[in-house]
Amino acid sequence: MKVYAAAHGQAVRGAVQKGFMDGAEYAPGATEIRTALEQLRVIAGEPGGIGAMSEPVIKASAEKLRVVPGASLPRPLGFVTVGAPVPAAQKMIEYFRSPEGQKQIR
């Protein structure tokens, strides 16, 4: 088996380390891959390859992968704007802060 890890700084890597590995680093033999799409391509071409991926990336991929159902990791949702948000962005932020919006992201 060959373990592939998202590069340092990628959200999936941090979520896996925090949620499953008690903050530990990946094993020294793990291969770090720069982008999620590149990781998908590499794993799809490597018999016995394994790596943690986010569901939206997997669904957007044309690669033939076997997804092993397992635990779900919640990740924080943040919004970034340059200056004050425009009205449409502010409306979206308020929605996701509302009880109804919170149901959508849990």
Answer yes or no: do 52 and 80 share one domain: no
Answer yes or no: do 10 and 52 share one domain: yes
The H or E element spanning position 4 is strand 2-6
Whole-number Cα distances in Å, 88 to 66, 84, 95, 101: 39, 11, 11, 15
Answer yes or no: do 50 and 25 share one domain: yes
> Which pTM was predicted?
0.62
- Number of folded domains that form the chain: 2
Q: How far apart are CA 84 and CA 89, in angstroms?
A: 9
In a domain, 7, yes or no: yes
Answer yes or no: do 7 and 56 share one domain: yes
Range of the domain at 80: 76-106
Answer yes or no: do 8 and 52 share one domain: yes
In terms of pLDDT, which residue wins out, 71 or 97?
Answer: 97
Q: How far apart are CA 32 and CA 29, in angstroms?
A: 9
In terms of pLDDT, which residue wins out, 65 or 61?
Answer: 61
Nearby residues of 15 by Cβ (< 8 Å), 6 or more positions away: 52, 73, 75
Q: What is the pLDDT of residue 25?
A: 92
In a domain, 66, yes or no: no
Q: What is the pLDDT of residues 3-59, one digit of tens each?
A: 999 999 888 888 888 888 888 999 899 999 998 888 888 888 888 788 888 877 877
Token representation of residue 91 = 């409306």
Judged by DSSP in three states, 18 sits in helix
In a domain, 17, yes or no: yes
In a domain, 65, yes or no: no
